[in-house]
Amino acid sequence: MRSGLQENSVAQRSFVDLDHWMERYQQADPAAPATLIAALSPALLCFFRSQQANREHADDLLQDTWLRIHRVRHTYRPGEPVLPWVYAIARRAGVDGYRKTRRIAAHEIAVEALPARFAQSEPPNGLPAFEDLVAALPEAQQEVITMLKVGGLSLEEVARATSSTVGAVKQKAHRAYERLRKLLHTYAEDNVAGGAP
Amino acid sequence: MNCRDMNHALIGRSMASPLPSEAEDHLRTCARCRLLAGALRLPVAEARPSPASLRRIETGIAAGLRPVHPMGSKNCLLAAFVATFIATVALSVYRMGAFAIAVMTPLQTSLTLGSLAVGTGLLAYSLVNQMVPGSRHRISPRLLPLGAAISLVIVIAVLFHFQHERNFWAKSWACIRAGMPIGALAAVPLWFVLRRGTILWPTMTGAATGLLAGLAGATALEIHCPNLEACHILVGHLGVAALGAVTGLLIGVAAERGLPGRRLNDSDY
Ligand SMILES: [Zn+2]
Ligand SMILES: [Zn+2]
C-alpha cells in the first residue's frame, strides 16, 4: 500500500509520509496539520479548479474540505492509504459546492463551446490545456481523470475515493479517453482547416 | 495494439513514466492516440493556495487540536451490525414463534435463510465501508441493495409456489404490520453504530441501512409465518425490506438536502 504522494501528482514534487502524519494529527501533534495542509492543499486546489462548476469557488472548497477533514479525522484508520480518504471527503465537499452554486446550465454551455475555449488557452505546443480538455468530459469522467492525473491517485485509490470498484473506474477512464480522442481529433482538423498552428 | 489497448496502457499510469514499446509503436502510426497521449502528458497548471488561506486553515485547526481515537476496527463494526440483526430477529421470533420452520422443506429453509444471511452480511459489510471515507468496495455500494433485493425475489419465486390465495392483501398487510416494528427496532442500534463513522452519501447509506433493518423484519417473518405462498412471501415479508429501504432512502434524501455547504469560520474547527 503506497503511503505518500507520488512524483507524478501535479502540485507536489516531494514525498511526504502521509500515513505517519495522519496518525500524528490524530494524536494532536501540532506539527501534523501544517505538514498535511502544505502537502495536500495544492493538489486539492487543483482538483477543485479542474472541476468546471467549482473553479471559481476552489479556495472556499479547499477550506471547507479541511474543516470536514478535521471533524472526521477519527475515521482515518492508521495503515490505510490517506489519499482516498482525503479525496472522498473533498469529493463530497465539491458536490455540495456544486449544488450550492447550481451552475449546471452554465456548465453545459461551456461544454458546447469548447473549441473556442481550447483556442483561448492553448499552450505553445498546439494542444489544448488539460483543464479545458477535462472540462469537456461528463462529471463522473472528469472526476476520475482529475484524480488520476492531478491528485496522483492510483486506479485502486480512485475507486476507494469514489466509493466505486476498480472495474467501474477503469471503464470511466476508458470512456473519457475515447471522448478526448474524438475531441482532440476534431480540434486538430479544425485547426488544419482554419490554418491554425 | 489498437486504440482500445492504448487506453489500457494509458489508464492508471504515471504520465511521466514511459509507455510499453508496443504502445510507442502504436503512437507512431496513430495520429489520434498521439494527440491523446500528448495532451495527457502536458503539465497541469500549478495551483498554489494563497498563504492567507493556508494560514487561516492552519490556525483554525491548531486552535481546536485535540487527540482523537481512531474508529474501531472494521471487524468490530461488522460484528455490531450482525449482532444487532441477529438479536432483533431472535427476540422477535421468541415472541412470535417459529411456525414456518415446521412447514418448510429443509431445502426451502436452508436456501431462504441462507440467502437472507448472505444479503445481510454483504449489506452490513458495505455499510462498514461506507462509514469510513476511502474504503475499498468490492461490490458497488450503489448497486448492492438493488442486487440483494432482486436476488431474494428470485430465490423466493423459485423455491415457493404461486397459488391463488383468499384474503391475499389482508394476510400480507398483517405480516407487513408485524414486520415493520421489527425493522424499526433494528434500525435504532444500526443508526447508533453508523453515527460513529462519517456518512458522506446519506441517500446511498440510508437505503442500505433501511434495507438491512427491513431484512431483520423479513427474516423474523420468514421464520415465524407458516404461509408458504410465494406472492404472500414476496409482498408480506420482503415488502417489509422494501419499505425499510424506501424509508431509509427518503431519510437519506432529507439528510442530504440538509447537509451544509458552507464557508469557514474559525469557530467551525
Ligand atoms: Zn490509436
Ligand atoms: Zn406471512
Q: How far is A8 from A185, CA to CA, in rounded Å?
A: 26
B166 falls within a domain = yes
- Touching check for A13 and chain B: CB below 8 Å? no
Is residue B39 pLDDT above 60, yes or no? yes
Is residue A13 pLDDT above 50, yes or no? no
Task: Based on the fold, state whether residues B33 and B99 are members of the same structural domain.
Answer: no
- Touching check for B66 and chain A: CB below 8 Å? yes
DSSP secondary structure letter of residue B160: S
> Which stretch of B11-20, B154-163, B208-217 has the lowest confidence by average pLDDT?
B11-20
Task: Based on the fold, state whether residues B113 and B224 are members of the same structural domain.
Answer: yes
Residue A145: what residue type?
Answer: I
Q: How confident is the model at residue A10 (pLDDT cuts 50, 70, 90)?
A: very low
At residue A52, the pLDDT reads 66
Q: Which positions ≥6 away from B184 have C-beta within 8 Å?
A: B213
pLDDT above 90: percentage of residues in chain A: 37
- Touching check for B8 and chain A: CB below 8 Å? yes
Please tell me which of the candidates B42, B64, B137 has its beta carbon nearest to residue A165. B137
> Where in the sequence is the domain holding B9, given as residue range(s)?
3-41
Task: Based on the fold, state whether residues B253 and B155 are members of the same structural domain.
Answer: yes
* Ligand nearest to the backbone CA of B170: 2
B145 falls within a domain = yes
> Which stretch of B90-94, B136-140, B156-160, B180-184 has the lowest confidence by average pLDDT?
B136-140
CB A190 within 8 A of CB B163: no
**CA A67, A70, A72, A76 torsion: positive or negative?**
positive
Average pLDDT of chain B? 89
Indicate the pTM of the whole model: 0.84
CB A99 within 8 A of CB B146: no
At residue B260, the pLDDT reads 52
Centroid of ligand 1 to alpha carbon of B9 (angstroms): 11
- CATH 1.20.140.160 given to domain A4-193: yes
The span from the first CA to the last CA of chain B, in angstroms, equals 53
Neighbours of A148 (CB within 10 A): 26
CB B252 within 8 A of CB B183: no
Per-residue pLDDT tens over the stretch A160-170: 999 999 999 99
- Touching check for B71 and chain A: CB below 8 Å? yes
At residue B41, the pLDDT reads 79
What protein residues have CB closer than 5 angstroms to ion ligand 2? B 175, 225, 227, 236
C-alpha grid cell for residue A32? 501534523
Task: Based on the fold, state whether residues B9 and B134 are members of the same structural domain.
Answer: no
B53 falls within a domain = no
B62 falls within a domain = no
Query: What is the least distance, in Å, from the CA of A119 to any CA of chain B?
Result: 14
Is residue A115 pLDDT above 80, yes or no? no
Is residue B231 pLDDT above 80, yes or no? yes
Task: Based on the fold, state whether residues B78 and B132 are members of the same structural domain.
Answer: yes
Query: What is the least distance, in Å, from the CA of B261 to any CA of chain A?
Result: 5
Which among A53-62, A74-83, A117-126 has the top mean pLDDT? Answer: A74-83
| B42–A59 CB contact, under 8 Å | no
At residue B187, the pLDDT reads 96
| B46–A11 CB contact, under 8 Å | yes
Per-residue pLDDT tens over the stretch B153-198: 999 999 999 988 889 999 999 999 999 999 999 999 999 999 888 8
Task: Based on the fold, state whether residues B12 and B117 are members of the same structural domain.
Answer: no
- Touching check for A123 and chain B: CB below 8 Å? yes
CB B122 within 8 A of CB B144: yes
DSSP secondary structure letter of residue B166: T
Q: How confident is the model at residue A192 (pLDDT cuts 50, 70, 90)?
A: low
Query: What is the least distance, in Å, from the CA of B239 to any CA of chain A?
Result: 28
Is residue B263 pLDDT above 50, yes or no? no
Centroid of ligand 1 to alpha carbon of B64 (angstroms): 53
Centroid of ligand 2 to alpha carbon of B247 (angstroms): 21
Among A95, A83, A92, A89, residue whose Cα is nearest residue A152: A83
Q: How far is B142 from B207, CA to CA, in rounded Å?
A: 9
| B36–A184 CB contact, under 8 Å | yes
CB B64 within 8 A of CB A158: no
Centroid of ligand 2 to alpha carbon of B238 (angstroms): 10
Task: Based on the fold, state whether residues B239 and B165 are members of the same structural domain.
Answer: yes
Task: Based on the fold, state whether residues B14 and B96 are members of the same structural domain.
Answer: no
At residue A54, the pLDDT reads 65
For residue A196, the number of C-alpha atoms closer than 13 Å in the C-beta half-sphere is: 18
Q: How confident is the model at residue A102 (pLDDT cuts 50, 70, 90)?
A: low
Per-residue pLDDT tens over the stretch A116-175: 444 445 554 667 777 788 888 888 888 898 888 888 888 999 999 999 999 999 999 999
Between the alpha carbon of residue A21 and those of residues A5, A6, A41, A79, A164, the distances in Å are: 12, 16, 15, 11, 26
pLDDT above 90: percentage of residues in chain B: 64
- Touching check for B19 and chain A: CB below 8 Å? no
| B134–A83 CB contact, under 8 Å | yes
Task: Based on the fold, state whether residues B115 and B175 are members of the same structural domain.
Answer: yes
Task: Based on the fold, state whether residues B146 and B248 are members of the same structural domain.
Answer: yes
Task: Based on the fold, state whether residues B12 and B128 are members of the same structural domain.
Answer: no
Which residue in the block uniquely carries the three cell numbers 391463488?
A: B164
At residue B44, the pLDDT reads 74
Domain count along chain B: 2
B105 falls within a domain = yes
Per-residue pLDDT tens over the stretch B41-76: 777 777 788 888 888 888 888 888 999 999 888 999
Q: How confident is the model at residue B221 (pLDDT cuts 50, 70, 90)?
A: very high
